[in-house]
Structure 1
Amino acid sequence: MVAVFNKELLSWYLITLKLRETVEAAASGSPKPNRDQASARSIEWTDQKQPSDSLKIVIKEDGKDNGVKVEEEAIPQESEWVISIKEKLEQARQDDLASSWTKLCIYRIPHSLRDQGDEKAFVPQMVSLGPYHHGKRRLRPMDRHKWRCLQRILKRTNQDINLYLDSIKEFEEKARECYEGPISLGSNEFVEMMVLDGCFILELFQGAAGGFKQLGYSRNDPVFAMRGSMHSIQRDMIMLENQIPLFILDELLGLQLGNPDQKGLVSKLTIRFFDPLMPTDEPLRKTDMNKLESSLGHGNIFDPLSDQSELHCLDVFRRSLLRSGPKPVPRIWFRKSSHSNRVADKRRQQLIHCVSELREAGIKFKKRKTDRFWDIKFKNGVLSIPRLLIHDGTKSLFLNLIAFEQCHLDCGNDITSYVIFTDNLINSSEDVGYLHYCGIIEHWLGSDDEVADLFNRLCQEVVFDINDSYLSQLSEEINHYYDHKWNTWKASLRHNYFSNPWAIISLVAGVVLLLLTFAQTFYGVYAYYRPSS
């Protein structure tokens, strides 16, 4: 038996074998071998190479007619499809072992949110920070100013670039774990990007706090001056996909100042830099600012996250918006556990009725004087809402804050709750107009319709649990007041008969006329039955 895996070698082997047998038979004149002799001369031969197909060729010599019989026996072997699946599973196992989800805090915007919102709200238009948008052609012009910024820092501090590169090199692995998915940049390129982008951010922070002139920049500098482009840069820097880990900024600032213990200082600079993006025009009192800055990094109540060193500027700005005392405990409206079914369900996102319907139920609206735009109160039929300023950067700010709350597991949903509550209030331009009349909403957009459309689109595909909202108890109180018919009747009476002085005069005149008619009827009937003597 001869086992052969190469068909060409098999052909040459058979030809050689037959020629040798013919020559030997002619030389010796011996008779042809019988079947037993031919079987005894069976030879098994195996090629040393890996077989190219899954068949084993068996050659047998037949002594009867000197023919050759070829038999094919199938070798059990896995198909290419199964092999490819196993390779993918092995790659998934390696990815799972290499990934550290506990450090992840800078996410890519989910497609469900990106499709519903404006692309410009998530994608930077002037400057790229971090790896997600690094190297894009339309953002490259700002790179020249980044290098100019880095050169000025090294000149001002009289330091060598190797100091920054070597220091950030030690944090490379930790920084990579903050981003979602594998980063295709090499080690040197990644460290260079962290140093360049981080120094650019810190230079903007320090210039906005103390003045760019003190840092050595000209008053007509195209970037490092408080001009119109600064607002666009601020919008890009607050985007979720455009973040640098905060510990990188802390390390770079410590190198610049010659003091490595600078944790908390970057957070203070962040709050001051992004203050123009605040969705309120109520000024922050100096005492509140001092309390806010002193509370950063010390685990105060307003900080919903325990480990600040793994986060970024967007998270710092979010926590500055949510500075507060203890919030109301959410009340469970449904018996099912709030974390057992986290799906987007618009039926469970309806916290309250719109402004027009609440007004019909007798609920009044009043502006609340506070810079905490989310701090809404309800008492004795009066809904007190802080002033909300809507400008061209509000949509991008809210969308990125909502995206961060949707992606980060250890983050609350306070901003999402507020936006959905406002979305419930606003169904039409008439609702926006009345809130503007009450001083609750001030906007710089083209019309009230644009404001209504803005809020109606913000949370279309947002995962939201009504039981996990700080406004759930307040919403229940409002709905309880709304469901009382007596309140609706009183509101209808005020609306129809006490809405203006002429309506009041008409009502009084009608009541007097009714009383006089009743008196006349009474005395007429009384005189009929009890005539005077």
Structure 2
Amino acid sequence: MVAVFNKDVLSWYLITLKLREAVDAANVQKSPPPQPQWQPRNLPLITNGASPPLQRHGETEPDRSAFARSRAQSPAHSPKPQDPEWVITIRGKLAQARAEEAACPWSRLSVYRVPKCLRDGDERAYTPQVVSIGPLHRGRRRLREMDRHKWRALHHVLKRTRHDVTAYLDAVRPLEDRVRACYEGGAAALGGTDLAECLVLDGTFVLELFRGAADGGKGFVDALGYSRHDPVFAMRGAMHAVRNDMILLENQLPLFVLDLLLGLQLGTPEQTTGAVAALAVRFFDPLMPTDAPLLRKDRSKLVESSVQAAAQAFDPLSDPMLHCLDVFRRSLLRAGLQPTPPPPARLWPKKWSSGLRRVADKRRQQFVHCVSELREAGIRCRRRNTDRFWDIRFDNGVLRIPRILIHDGTKSLFLNLIAFEQCHVTDTAAPGPGGNNITSYAIFMDNLINSADDVKYLHDRGIIEHWLGSDAEVADLFNRLCNEVVFDINDSYLSGLSDQVNRYYDYKWSTWVASLKHNYFSNPWAIVSVVAGIFLLLLTMAQTFFSAYSYYRPMQ
């Protein structure tokens, strides 16, 4: 029988046979050898490709417990030959997490990225609009316009000090690892030369602004040599936007970098610690949320007192300041906050229930009732004459609140201060790093203000002064400041004061007196009608008395 084959078909058939033989041979090599059905006495069963050391002639049997300990101490995420590919991937991610944990000293963080839960809906309040300071927003397209002014500032510094730029670059290079440890992401992505350039360029720009802003901006022209027509360094309209950007949490430089650069400029690198903090207090003074009607010399004295307090109350050597936002926050709280002790329980018949822990729940962040409800209970609000907007007092039914100024930058300012307090948490309630003092004040005012009527009442009492469009916008501002904020009212400096207010509110006699005043003594005509009614009532009672008296004791 003769078979005729096509040449191409025969070739493909032979190739298929060869491939099948190769696959079968590979499967035979990969198949594990058969496991023995018996195990030698006094020898452990060896699995996973590991084998104990061999026992030589004259040596004792290997220590099984030591071998077991060595197996137990091996890293759980080390790859093993028998692991499948997906397990090896997981072990690689664990190793990466271990390296990240070792490379990130969390206690040294000071410049944070604002959490997404806080920035939803308020992205603009946390993002620089004109200038980037530091590595987190470096290179953004819309912020590059200000880079040429940074280079001009560095040129002025080098020309004025007759230094070479390498002196500043060589000074900041040893600080690169310390600087990277301060940032929550972002700085690690910059190479050594890029990070050094960023520190010198942005740090010099910040110092030029601080030094030139003295005396109403005359320092730019008189001391630093800028033209009085300069578009940035002449205290024109751009300075307001630059100042607002420089107070943002994500737009900061570590203060020790600014101290080093200032020391190099002045020729005293060992004697400038804390000097930048004093300059920052002067520069950010227009952002203070106070509006006291002071003369210029009084304002200068107030700034001087803030500078002295920043230098004395917060010693950089014992309690180092972190960055400009931290300096600004400390200057706001420069006198320290003394918690108000709660009143004794026996003073009031009904006790306010404040024993529960109230954290991270908007409905439970209730310090006090709103202004309208407090007025119904006989609690009045009066202005307290002090520039410390947080220093609230309560005495005998009168809530004394300092004056606060609300402008277009107040929302961003408070949001970044609150974000810093949320991120930089410590165990202390002092006005240094950590604490929740600004958050406590914001939540207290949020409780007081529920509507435009509450804002109007506080404005009429001289407590709130605002430059916004309406009272409703002010109420909306305070009601949105602390959304998604984690807070415990029992750890607040206002918890004792709130307890006093709430106990007074729950005292029924004060509510009755307040209702009487509101219903019958609210205006002059109501007072006249009440007096007339009381007079007629007395006359009626007298007539009734004499009528009854004459009946029982008739006149002889």
TM-score for both structures, normalised by structure 1? 0.83
Contact conserved, 2:310 with 2:334, CA < 8 A, in 1? no
Specify the alignment match of 2:254 in structure 1.
245
Specify the alignment match of 1:307 in structure 2.
319
- 2:454 matched to 1:431? yes
* Aligned counterpart in structure 1 of residue 109 of structure 2, from 98, 104, 108: 104
Q: Deviations over 1:220-243 (max 9, x none)?
A: 111111111111111000000000
Shift of the 139–326 alpha-carbon distance from structure 1 to 2, 3 Å rule, reads: closer
Shift of the 106–54 alpha-carbon distance from structure 1 to 2, 3 Å rule, reads: farther
* Aligned counterpart in structure 2 of residue 521 of structure 1, from 525, 541, 544: 544
- Give SS of 1:327's match: coil
Tell me how far apart the structure 1 counterparts of residues 463 and 340 of structure 2 sit (CA, whole Å). Answer: 25
Shift of the 416–325 alpha-carbon distance from structure 1 to 2, 3 Å rule, reads: closer
Shift of the 456–484 alpha-carbon distance from structure 1 to 2, 3 Å rule, reads: same
Tell me how far apart the structure 1 counterparts of residues 179 and 17 of structure 2 sit (CA, whole Å). Answer: 60
Matches within 5 A, 1:63-462: 77-116=82-121, 118-181=122-185, 183-209=188-214, 211-214=219-222, 215-260=224-269, 261-282=271-292, 283=294, 289-298=303-312, 300=313, 307-309=319-321, 311-325=322-336, 327-328=338-339, 335=355, 343-410=359-426, 411-462=434-485
**What is the deviation of 1:295?**
4.0
Tell me how far apart the structure 2 counterparts of residues 313 and 245 of structure 1 sit (CA, whole Å). Answer: 8
- Residue type at the aligned position of 1:194: L
- Of residues 252-261 and 516-525 in structure 1, the stretch that sits farther from structure 2 once superposed is 516-525
Shift of the 329–234 alpha-carbon distance from structure 1 to 2, 3 Å rule, reads: same
**What is the deviation of 1:154?**
0.5
Q: Deviations over 1:250-285 (max 9, x none)?
A: 000011111102011100110000000000012566
- Of residues 212-221 and 350-359 in structure 1, the stretch that sits farther from structure 2 once superposed is 212-221
* Aligned counterpart in structure 2 of residue 465 of structure 1, from 479, 488, 504: 488
Q: Deviations over 1:399-458 (max 9, x none)?
A: 000000000023010000000000000000000000000000000000000000000000
- Residue type at the aligned position of 1:483: D
Q: Deviations over 1:195-241 (max 9, x none)?
A: 10000000001110152102111111111111111111110000000
Shift of the 151–398 alpha-carbon distance from structure 1 to 2, 3 Å rule, reads: same
Specify the alignment match of 2:51 in structure 1.
none
- 2:544 matched to 1:532? no
Q: Deviations over 1:287-321 (max 9, x none)?
A: 554444234355x3x68995325x10000000000
TM-score for both structures, normalised by structure 2? 0.79
Specify the alignment match of 1:66 in structure 2.
none
- Of residues 93-102 and 469-478 in structure 1, the stretch that sits farther from structure 2 once superposed is 93-102
- Residue type at the aligned position of 1:263: T
Q: Percent identity?
A: 63
Tell me how far apart the structure 1 counterparts of residues 519 and 406 of structure 2 sit (CA, whole Å). Answer: 33
For these two proteins, the number of residue pairs brought into alignment is: 469
Contact conserved, 2:309 with 2:331, CA < 8 A, in 1? no
Shift of the 304–280 alpha-carbon distance from structure 1 to 2, 3 Å rule, reads: farther
**What is the deviation of 1:343?**
4.2
Contact conserved, 1:366 with 1:383, CA < 8 A, in 2? yes
Q: Deviations over 1:168-219 (max 9, x none)?
A: 1011110111000352111110110111000000000111015210211111
Tell me how far apart the structure 2 counterparts of residues 349 and 105 of structure 1 sit (CA, whole Å). Answer: 27
Shift of the 259–521 alpha-carbon distance from structure 1 to 2, 3 Å rule, reads: same
Tell me how far apart the structure 2 counterparts of residues 88 and 134 of structure 1 sit (CA, whole Å). Answer: 29
- Of residues 172-181 and 76-85 in structure 1, the stretch that sits farther from structure 2 once superposed is 76-85
Specify the alignment match of 1:38 in structure 2.
none
- Give SS of 1:480's match: helix
Tell me how far apart the structure 1 counterparts of residues 471 and 279 of structure 2 sit (CA, whole Å). Answer: 35
- 2:520 matched to 1:497? yes
Contact conserved, 1:373 with 1:386, CA < 8 A, in 2? yes
**What is the deviation of 1:333?**
6.8
Contact conserved, 1:54 with 1:77, CA < 8 A, in 2? no
- Give SS of 2:399's match: strand
Specify the alignment match of 2:76 in structure 1.
none
Tell me how far apart the structure 2 counterparts of residues 293 and 431 of structure 1 sit (CA, whole Å). Answer: 35
Tell me how far apart the structure 1 counterparts of residues 142 and 299 of structure 2 sit (CA, whole Å). Answer: 40
Specify the alignment match of 1:20 in structure 2.
none
What is the RMSD of the two structures over their aligned residues, measured on CA atoms? 2.7
Tell me how far apart the structure 2 counterparts of residues 144 and 319 of structure 1 sit (CA, whole Å). Answer: 32
Tell me how far apart the structure 2 counterparts of residues 421 and 274 of structure 1 sit (CA, whole Å). Answer: 25
